[in-house]
Structure 1
Amino acid sequence: MDKEKLQATAMEYMKIWNAGNADLLYKYADSDIIADYTHFEKSYRGIADYKSVLEMTYNFFPDLKITIENLLPDEAEQKITVEWKYDGTHKNGNLFGVESSGKKISVSGITILEIKNGLVIKEKGIVDNLSLLMQLGAI
């Protein structure tokens, strides 16, 4: 896959983080996808397992919207690094010990997508959860 196709795939795939878009996994992710972020207690394997995490995130932030800030494709490795930020409102549930308060948040992160046969087979990333904790008032 060339640089442009890697970028296009990443742009479409990352829309899974927009509230209500978990079903995009069926279109852009391999059925055995592995998703691993530094704040996850474990790696999530398979679409159904990972979809449950996305839906939990949407519950906390039902208006969650991701913005892609930069794409760095690696044609040789068939990987792409995505710099992003997401914005949303904490409307439901207890997150990191903080009850929902209607606070608006904006959080940055980096995700590396590994792509094979046009589908994401691995998603690994880091989220600025310190910033999230501060914005929620947890610290």
Structure 2
Amino acid sequence: MSTETNKAIAINFYKEQDRLKGKLSATLTAPNYTFSLNGGPPITAAEHEGMGAMFWAAFPDIEQTVEETIAEGDKVAVCFTMRATHTGNFEGVPASGKQIAVSGMGILRIVDGKVAEFQEAFDIMGLMQQIGAIPTPA
């Protein structure tokens, strides 16, 4: 597939994740799909959906905006901004009603038009500061 096609698949993957509230689109996800977050070990699609359910329960209006994509071969790098409202418990932090905006990056490996591997890192420290769980530096 062309790098432009792979970029479109990556952008659509983020949009579908938002639309499906953390679930993965079967049409965009390879059968052997793996995901890793912030350098953690790879997890399965089912485990990723479980993690997604936790995020969307705490931030039900998540919207991920893809800001930039760069592609080479079968990989697409994505810079994104995640915006949401903290209306549920997250990592033991009760709902604050605060709006968050955090940046992140993902690398998606596309095989036969589907995402086979997804590595993502985002500003969890910034998120925790924005919901009041961690003090912001003075």
Quick check: TM above 0.5? yes
Q: Map Cα deviations across residues 107-131 of structure 1 (whole Å, 9 max, x no partner).
A: 1000000111111010001111111
Question: Does 1:84 find its partner at 2:80?
Answer: yes
Q: Which amino acid aligns with 1:3?
A: T
Question: Corresponding residue for 1:4?
Answer: 4
Rounded Cα–Cα distance in structure 2 between residues aligned with 1:111 and 1:38: 10
Q: Which amino acid aligns with 1:104?
A: Q
Root-mean-square deviation (CA, aligned residues, Å) is 1.7
Deviation at 1:136, TM superposition (A): 1.0
Deviation at 1:36, TM superposition (A): 0.0
Deviation at 1:39, TM superposition (A): 6.7
Q: Map Cα deviations across residues 30-75 of structure 1 (whole Å, 9 max, x no partner).
A: 12211001175x4211x32221111211101000001000000012
Taking a change above 3 Å as real, the CA distance of residues 124 and 89 of structure 1, as seen in their structure-2 partners, is same
Gaps of 5+ in 1: none
Question: Corresponding residue for 1:130?
Answer: 125
Alignment of 1:100-115 (within 5 A): 100-115=95-110
Q: What SS class does the counterpart of residue 20 from structure 2 fall into?
A: coil
Higher helix share: 1
Q: Which amino acid aligns with 1:36?
A: S
Task: Tell me if the contact between 1:28 and 1:118 (Cα under 8 Å) persists in the aligned partners.
Answer: yes
Deviation at 1:96, TM superposition (A): 3.5
Structure 1 residue runs of 4 or more that deviate by more than 3 Å after TM superposition:
19-24
What TM-score, normalized to structure 1?
A: 0.88
Question: Does 1:33 find its partner at 2:33?
Answer: yes
Taking a change above 3 Å as real, the CA distance of residues 99 and 39 of structure 1, as seen in their structure-2 partners, is farther
Gaps of 5+ in 2: none
Task: Tell me if the contact between 1:63 and 1:89 (Cα under 8 Å) persists in the aligned partners.
Answer: yes
Aligned residues: 134
